[in-house]
Amino acid sequence: MRYLTIIAALAATSFAAPTPEALRGSTEWSPTLAGYFDLVYKHIKDARQRGGKPPTCDLSKASLPVAPTPLDFLPDYTLEHVAIGRGTQNYTCANATAAPAAAGAVARFYNISCMAADYPNLVPLASNLAYERPLPEDPLAPFGPTGLELSTHHFFSNGTTPVFAFDAPSSPNLGRVFAQKAGDSVAPANALQNENGVIPWLYLTSRSTTEGDIRAVYRVDTAGGSPPATCKDQPSSFTVDYAAVYWFFK
């Protein structure tokens, strides 16, 4: 079943807006889901009071969250796309006493550009909600109770090169980004953590091999993904679930 993603589509109809209780009953309830839909319902009410005007989806009005340690940002960057990533951070272990070594990540990204532009306070909750949900078995299917459309595949081409491939049927035409780390920041204290913490926010810049105009990628609103401190009781390679929001700039 597909769920609410475009608030104005409900707000502009003649039907009564669904209550938070009804939305909760449509899928497995969790505090994160409840908080998300409570906020959605407030946006619906506000939109209807304003006459049901549709959202603008104007990315020039979207604001990148500020990291606890501010990440570099060039004044001529132009926002092209915002997506939620859901997948795994990957790690390897040399021996039981070693610290896990990062070995890239694999994730699917889902389009939330209009959400970031028009309803930015939903975005952190949406990331936390994504973290709580498994990916659909169908790799091209919309994701989660909000029915988000697939936009990007994320993987690493080698140990230091994250790749963002806009190669799905529903992807925007942004090519394939080969990136490199240019900065990081610890996540905010209120970030959703696993038992070991939460992965940092990142600033990535594109490599010369990038296909398309994207110059920078920011990973923010992270949830989970952090490995244990040591490799005790871990296999030689393992994965840790994570979610995050990615902002793509040209």
Q: Torsion angle of alpha carbons 6, 152, 78, 70, nearest 10°?
A: 100
Nearest to 151 by CA among 78, 79, 246: 246
Split at pLDDT 50, 70, 90, the class of 147 is confident
Q: CA-CA distance, 16 to 37, in Å (whole number)?
A: 15
pLDDT attached to residue 11: 35
Model confidence pLDDT, tens digit, residues 162-176: 999 999 999 999 999
Q: Are 156 and 163 in contact (CB under 8 A)?
A: yes
Per residue in 174-229, pLDDT (tens digit) is: 999 999 999 999 999 999 999 999 999 999 999 999 999 999 999 999 999 999 99
Classify strands 79-92 and 150-158 as parallel, antiparallel or unpaired. unpaired
Span between the terminal Cα atoms of the chain, in Å: 35
Per DSSP (E only), the strands in the chain are: 79-92, 101-111, 150-158, 161-165, 176-185, 201-206, 216-224, 237-249
DSSP annotation of 235: -
Work out whether strand 237-249 and strand 161-165 pair parallel, antiparallel, or are unpaired.
Answer: unpaired
Which pLDDT tens digit goes with each residue over 43-68?
565 666 566 666 789 999 999 999 99
Q: Answer yes or no: is pLDDT of 110 > 50.
A: yes
How many percent of the chain have pLDDT more than 90? 72
Length of the chain: 250
Closest CA to 27 of 130, 142, 144: 144
- Give the model confidence (pLDDT) of 80-89 as tens digits: 999 999 999 9
